Structure 1
Amino acid sequence: MPLLWLFLLVLAIAAGAFVLARARVMAQAGQDRRTLHSLPIYYGSNAAMKSAIPALLVLVLWLLAQPFYVNNAVSDMIPESAIADSSSRGLILAEVRRAADGLDLAVSTGGMTENEARNTRADISDVTARLSDAGAIVTSQITQPVLRAAQQFRVLNSAGYQIMSAVVLLIAAAGALWGFKETKPDFRARNVVEQGVRALLIAAASIAILTTLGIVLSLVFNTIEFFRLYPASDFFFGTSWAPSFSGRGGSSDLGILPLLWGTFYISIVALVVAVPIGLFAAIYLSEYASSRVRAFAKPMLEVLAGIPTIVYGLFALLTVGPLLVQVFGDDGLGWMQAGTAVMTAGLVMGIMLIPFVSSLSDDIINAVPQSMRDGSYGLGATQSETIRQVVIPAALPGIVGAILLAASRAIGETMIVVLGAGAAARLSLNPFDAMTTVTAKIVSQLTGDSDFASPEALVAFALGMTLFVITLGLNVLALYIVRKYREQYE
């Protein structure tokens, strides 16, 4: 049964339980609500919650657990002799999943019958040709162990979904019956429903934490899988990035240092542009601008934060790059060879970061107590002296935190770098050279039809994990600085 239909059936059972429970309690009360402990809607909600929530919870847990069970069962079918030295069991399982998806596609499009898809003695060449004709993504030649594992993969998945549908519907019906039997005039339905709503709110608040945990675990597991194929020392300390993958493994020059250098170089140029402009704009808006000017200028400045980064990338590619070539290229100083360079991406990224720095700094400067300004004025200081010697030092921890947050935003930027900085991975101090960053290489490695368990994709997970650790460290440092020193000025 499709998941959508299963979900709708559970909701239909819950809706039926709601209507029946509400009608029952009203009938027991003789249509007099005053004899009820709770409003009728609470009795119906109690039955609906006990019908839907346990069933949907089992559905989610089943969908999370079934892939692990199926993968383990299928993995036992693959002998060690079928795994090449340059491959791994994870890559073979990825081929199994692709082959299983190809069999499903071929059956759905009429390329083969269900019996042919389950035939363990089928001709390998014929199966490979049929899957390719159906548009499936398969390797050049499916091996016999992979085909048998793919067939078992389909059988286990199909049986799992059927059992899951039956279990979920039974739980929904049992929950509806439970809630219906509890429906009596003296039942404290309101208390039960409010406790259930509280549990739902806690679950909703936990989604962000669980999502973060899932992202970290997916990065960690795939990064570990990558380092099983390639040495970590060459990855973190290599000075050349020129990957060349062949078959299931094999590569050369996977050093991340050129990518990290390009990432930090472009980010530094962006911060050199964004920090002075954003900080001066924040000082003007908070200390000098009238309320009328501030009401107009602050929203207009923050419009920059709402512009999609692809638009900034096009602006770098079509406007800023050619303009810099005219000034610093062969017609000018002769320093710049093409429009894609560190300077191009850095300038445009700096413009993008201005509202991040200005908005956060403006809020932090406004949070400085007015009494500190009044005390400075009372001692004879001018407005500019008060800003330099009182306001800025008081707000400095928050401003540093805002700059670090902007830096983490710059490090994680992708589209501006892809369109404005080029694709060359090099260690160079020339800001007019083309360079690339970690995020740009992640995009290039995951572009195309390669499977997420292939070496081409696994290296992207290793890059992503490295970038995640860097940006997480910057965010933690920024929050630490803000929280540690903010209390001194409150």
Structure 2
Amino acid sequence: MPIIWLFAIVLAIATAGFLSGRTGALRQAAGDSRVLHSLPSYYGWNAALKSVVPAALLIVVWLIAQPIYVNSVVSGMVPDAAISDSSSRGLVMSEVRRVADGLDSAVATGAMTDAQSRGSDIDVEALTDRLREAGQVITSQITEPVLAAAQRYRTMNATGYAIMTGLAVLVALAGAAWGFREARPAFRARNTVEQGVRALLIGAASIAILTTVGIVLSLVFNTVEFFRLYPMADFFTSLEWAPSFSGRGGSSELGILPLLWGTFYISLVALLVAVPIGLFAAIYLSEYASKRVRAVAKPLLEILAGIPTIVYGLFALLTVGPLLLTVFGRDGLGWMQSASAVMTAGLVMGIMLIPFVSSLSDDIINAVPQALRDGSYGLGATQSETIRQVVLPAALPGIVGAILLAASRAIGETMIVVLGAGAAARLSLNPFEAMTTVTAKIVSQLTGDADFASPEALVAFALGMTLFLITLALNIVALYIVRKYREQYE
């Protein structure tokens, strides 16, 4: 049964529990709601919450725990002799999962039915060919241990989902019955419901924290797996990026330094464009522009933030790149050989970041107390002197935060880099050469031809983990700067 159907059944039981709880409370009070401790709807919500919350928690925990348990059991079925020297247990388990998915197809079902009708074993070679013809991604010839593990994997998953469905329905029915029994006039239904809603709100507030922990753990585990297959020293010190997709990465050069250089170089060019323009625009809008001009100019400026990044990428590819090539190319100064370059991506990315800097800086500058401006004017300072010596220093922590947000946005950008900067991983100071970034290579490695458990695919997690640590360090430095300057004005 699809999960969405199971949730629909649980919600239907909760709805029935709500109606029965509310009706039961009114029946106990002989139709006089004044006899009840709480409003009739609270008794209904008590039954509904006790029906849907435990069942939903059971489903979520089951969906998390079952794959872990099934993978551990099935992994133990694969003998070490079935794992070749050019493979690993992770690669074999990936193949097992793919074969298990393929066994659900009509082609595989027909092959197994034919074998059973003949009273013989399944022809694994014929099954492999039929799965490949049907479009299933099978990277190697299916072996007997892999086929047995895939069948066991499929059976355990089907059994587990059936047990989960039955238990979830029983728990929902038990919760609805429990809520119906509590529908008595003396029961404090309102207090129970409010405590339950408070617990749900706390859980919702914890999702962000748990999501962050989950992201970090997924990066850590896959990064550790990558460094088991590829030397850490080569990853952080090699000056070459040349994945070969050759299985275990023996002939691949996976050095991160060229990618980091391209990331920082393009981000620096983007910030050199976005920060001055965005900051000057914010100063004008907050200190000089009239209300009518501000009401028109700020929304128009913020429209830039709503343009999809793929549109910026096409703008870089079709307009900015050829324009720069005309000025700095062979017919001009001779510095630029191709429209794809650091300068192309940096300029377009800087245009994209202008609203991030201007809008946030404008809000921060407007938040500076008017009393500081009035005091400066009272001492004889002009408007420009007040802005330079009073407003901007007071707003500096917020401006640093706006610049940091823009920098994070620049570091994480992908489409503009792919279309505007090219895909070359190189160390160069020439801004008119093609380069690439960490994020662009993460996408290319995860969508390449290598198996997901190979070094060429796992390197994407190592790249992401490195970028995460660098961004965390930048945030810590920025927080230190913000606190230092904030203490001067508090």
Find the residue that maps to 2:77 and give its secondary structure.
Answer: coil
Q: Distance in 2 between matches of 1:43 and 1:100?
A: 47
CA contact (8 A) 2:17 2:47 kept: yes
Equivalent residue number for residue 314 of structure 1: 314
- Whole-Å Cα distance in 2 between the matches of residues 116 and 215 of structure 1? 45
1:261 matched residue in structure 2: 261
Report the alpha carbon displacement of residue 130 of structure 1 after superposing the two structures with TM. Answer: 2.0
1:325·1:336 contact (CA, 8 Å) conserved in 2?
Answer: yes
Identity among equivalent pairs (%): 76
> CA, structure 1 residues 484+80, in 2 after alignment: closer, same or farther (shift >3 Å)?
farther
User: Could you tell me which residue of structure 2 aligns to residue 214 of structure 1?
Assistant: 214
* Shift of residue 209, structure 1, vs aligned partner: 1.2
User: Which aligned pairs between 1:244-323 and structure 2 lie closer than 5 A?
Assistant: 244-323=244-323
Structure 2 counterpart of 1:3: 3
Pairs within 5 Å for 1:52-451: 52-106=52-106, 110=110, 112-113=112-113, 121-448=121-448, 451=451
Question: Offset at 1:451?
Answer: 4.7
Amino acid at match of 1:462: A
Q: Whole-Å Cα distance in 1 between the matches of residues 364 and 480 of structure 2?
A: 15
Amino acid at match of 2:339: G
CA contact (8 A) 2:108 2:131 kept: no
**Structure 1 residues 27 and 86, CA, compared in 2 at 3 Å: closer, same or farther?**
same
Match of 2:468 in 1: 468
For 1:115 and 1:170, locate their aligned partners in 2 and report how far apart those are by CA, in whole Å: 39
Report Cα offsets for 1:267-313 as digits up to 9, x if no partner. Answer: 01001101110111111111111122111111111111111111110
**C-alpha RMSD over aligned residues:** 2.0
Does residue 457 of structure 2 align to residue 457 of structure 1?
A: yes
Give the Å deviation of 1:114: 9.8
> SS of 1:246's equivalent?
coil
**Larger CA deviation: 381-390 vs 93-102:** 381-390
Unaligned runs of 5+ in 2: none
Distance 1:279 1:120, change over 3 A: farther
Separation (CA, whole Å) in 2 of partners of 1:456 and 1:379: 65
> How many positions carry a matched residue from both structures?
489
The residue matched to 2:350 in structure 1 has which SS?
Answer: helix
**8 Å CA contact retained: 1:369, 1:489:** no
Matching residue of 1:29: 29
Partner Cα separation in structure 2 for residue 153 and residue 131 of structure 1: 17
Kindly provide the CA deviation profile for residues 45-68 of structure 1, in whole angstroms up to 9, marking residues without a partner as x.
111111111011000000000000
Higher deviation after alignment, 396-405 or 43-52: 396-405
Write the letter of the residue equivalent to 1:104: D
- More displaced, 184-193 or 439-448? 439-448
1:324 and 1:344 in contact (8 A); partners too:
yes
Going from structure 1 to structure 2, the CA distance change for 1:99 and 1:418 (only over 3 Å counts) comes to same
Distance 1:231-1:86 versus aligned 2 partners, 3 A rule: farther
SS at match of 1:453: coil
Letter aligned with residue 32 of structure 2: D
The answer on whether the counterparts of 1:19 and 1:44 sit within 8 Å (CA) in structure 2 is: yes
CA, structure 1 residues 307+98, in 2 after alignment: closer, same or farther (shift >3 Å)? same
CA apart distance, 1:443: 1.3
Answer yes or no: is the 8 Å Cα contact 1:349–1:416 preserved in 2: yes
- Contact kept in structure 1, 2:132 and 2:138, CA below 8 Å: yes
Q: 1:392-442, CA deviations, whole angstroms, 9 ceiling, x for partnerless residues?
A: 222223222221221111011000000000011100110000001111111
TM-score by length of 2: 0.95
Contiguous gaps of at least 5 residues in structure 1: none
Q: Secondary structure at the match of 1:353?
A: helix
Cα offset, 1:115, TM superposition: 7.7
- Partner AA of 1:19 in structure 2: L
Q: CA deviation at 1:466?
A: 1.3
Shift in alpha-carbon separation, 1:120–1:308, aligned structure 2, 3 A: farther
Question: Matched residues in 2 for 1:467 and 1:120: separation?
Answer: 54
2:278–2:358 contact (8 Å) kept in structure 1: yes
The aligned counterpart of 1:19 is: 19
What is the CA–CA distance in structure 1 between the aligned matches of 2:484 and 2:294, rounded to whole Å? 30
Q: How far does residue 369 in structure 1 lie from its aligned partner after superposition?
A: 2.0
Post-superposition Cα deviations, 1:168-215, rounded to whole Å, max 9, x if no partner, equal 111111111111111111111111111111111111111111111111
Contact 2:107 2:131 in 1 (8 A): no
CA shift, 1:120, in A, is: 10
Asked if structure 2 preserves the Cα contact closer than 8 Å seen for 1:278 and 1:357, the reply is: yes
The residue type equivalent to 2:238 in the other structure is G
- Distance in 2 between residues matched to 1:453 and 1:202, nearest whole Å: 37
Structure 2 counterpart of 1:276, one-letter code:
P
The alpha carbon displacement at 1:107 in A equals: 5.8
Using the size of structure 1 for normalisation, the TM-score is 0.95
Once residues 295 and 116 of structure 2 are traced to their aligned partners in structure 1, the CA distance between those partners, rounded to angstroms, is 70
CA–CA separation in structure 1 for the residues paired with 2:48 and 2:425: 58
Inter-partner Cα distance in structure 1 for 2:487 and 2:303: 32
Mapped contact 2:108–2:127 kept (Cα < 8 A): no
Q: Which amino acid aligns with 1:56?
A: A
- Counterpart contact for 2:360–2:399, Cα < 8 Å: yes
What residue identity is the alignment partner of 1:172? Answer: A
Deviations 1:231-255 (A, max 9, x none): 1111111100011022354332110
- Mapped partners of 2:175, 2:397: distance in 1: 54
The Cα of 1:326 is off from its aligned counterpart by: 0.6
Equivalent residues of 2:33, 2:40 under 8 A apart: yes
CA distance 1:449–1:254, shift in 2 (3 Å): closer
In 1, the alpha carbon distance for the partners of 2:192 and 2:116 equals 54
